Amino acid sequence: MVATIKGVNYIKGKWHCNQCETTKQRHFYKYYTDVFKKTIVYCRKCIALGRMDNHNDIMITATEHCKSDANYKLSFHLTPQQQYASQRIVDALLCHQSLLLYAVTGSGKTEMIFEAIHRARKDGLNVAVVSPRIDVVVELSLRIQTAFESEMIDVLYKGQRQLYNGHFVIATIHQLMRFKRHFDFVIIDEVDAFPLSMDNDLISVVRAASTTQCCTVYMTATPSNRFINQFPKDQIIKLPARFHQHILPIPTFKYYKIYPYKKQLYFLKLLKRQLALKRYTLVFFHQIDIMETMYHIYKQYIAGLTYVHSQDALRLEKISELRKGKYNVIFTTTILERGFTMSHLDVIVIDSHKFKASALIQIAGRVGRKSDSPKGLVLYLHQGISVSMLKAKSEIKQMNTLARLRGWVND
Ligand SMILES: [Zn+2]
């Protein structure tokens, strides 16, 4: 059952946005268009999530509840940390609480939510697993659909059609606008992938799609302090260990000034050593122009060198070839800072003093994720150690200390 409404409605003399539910009139912008011969009103508050206006329709799914078995299969046993987290999420679901899952990169978060999803669906609760990022939604949907193979799961992102009644949904945050007071259990992965300023919008969109009794689980490796402060201490769970039970690689700092327009011996030797060691190397840059300039200098010396950035038309092809091992060294911007996983991978950051701590932690988090190569190089090249660099390193060390203290790692 689907109803159609406008993205923005005029109710009792006030404009109302159906995505973020704001009724503050200053959030609405009006302009006249000759094309439709009418005044268009749109919501500026949640514009970054996709425009809501009084012209285009959005679909709203009618809310019903129905039970399903929601049996799932796992091809391995959960680690002690995953079992602990899984139980904490089930507890939160039963007492309608919210949780912040502060889990290191590569902790195996997805499997931790299966038991709670199973319980929720058995009780007829509506479940949503969401992320701001399409690539995360695609990856989550593959893994969740494999585990819950007899469930009718709606996977919703750009252009995907809704097949079922929204009892079990995997979607981008933007797609939640199809549901009002609908979900009883919501899990948000990579919650910090949005800019900081959007924390509140994100929460209001999720709130509009959720019932008042909803249990919401927020998952991230790099929560902002502002986000952490929204949770009582007992509703924050730190998960410091990776699923393969090896500690996180610790970054090394090295003072090194880059001259983008000339060949620098140290950098060339560094890359050649990486090739000799048969390692794949991601080199992160803060600026696209510097990256491109250096690519043209070093490509003649380094076999299998390429570069990729968010405006690159061949971006998806390059990333897919990269996963197949076609390239040895990849110059990249922060588009590969999350979600990218590959064996035998090292990272080097150029001008690391210009990066935020969360980006540096995510970048370091690319290394050692596979159990066949849990170690690797994380090298931050800088021109003066920044507070962000220190913060990133100390957070990684703290997580390792905590993981050892709890006996959740083997080294
Ligand atoms: Zn809005």
Convert the pLDDT of each residue in 52-74 to its tens digit.
Answer: 999 999 888 889 999 999 999 99
Mean pLDDT of 158-164: 85
Phi, psi for 387 (deg, rounded to 5): -60, -40
Q: How far is the CA of 49 from the centre of ligand 1 (A)?
A: 8
State the residue for tokens 């079990």: 168
Identity of the residue numbered 126: N
Q: Is the pLDDT of residue 192 over 80?
A: no
Q: Are the C-beta atoms of residues 231 and 199 closer than 8 Å to each other?
A: no
Helix (H) or strand (E) holding 318: helix 315-323
Task: Give the residue ranges of DSSP H helices in 255-310.
Answer: 265-276, 288-298
Could you tell me the distance, in angstroms and rounded to a whole number, from the CA of residue 48 to the centre of ligand 1?
9
The model's confidence at residue 20, banded by pLDDT at 50, 70 and 90, is confident
Residue range 330-356: average pLDDT? 92
What's the CA gap between 45 and 231, in Å, rounded?
Answer: 24
For ligand 1, the distance from its centroid to the CA atom of residue 12, given in whole angstroms, is 18
CA distance 279 to 263: 22
Q: How far apart are CA 192 and CA 220, in angstroms?
A: 7
Residue 195 has pLDDT above 70, yes or no: no
Q: 285 alpha carbon to ligand 1 midpoint, in Å?
A: 34
User: CA 148, CA 72: separation in Å to the nearest integer?
Assistant: 5
pLDDT of residue 46: 84
Cα 40 vs. chain centroid, distance in angstroms?
33
**How far is 120 from 126, CA to CA, in rounded Å?**
7
Report strand pairing: 252-255 vs 183-189.
unpaired
Query: Alpha-carbon distance 333 to 287, whole Å?
Result: 7
The pLDDT, as a whole number, for residue 62 is 86
3-state secondary structure of 155: strand
Structure confidence at residue 194 (pLDDT): 67
Once rounded to an integer, what is the mean pLDDT over residues 88-94?
A: 97
Q: What is the pLDDT of residue 1?
A: 67
Residue 197 pLDDT > 60: no
Question: Taking Cα atoms as reference points, which of 221, 295, 223, 224 lies closest to residue 258?
Answer: 295
Ligand 1 centre to CA of 18 (Å) is: 6
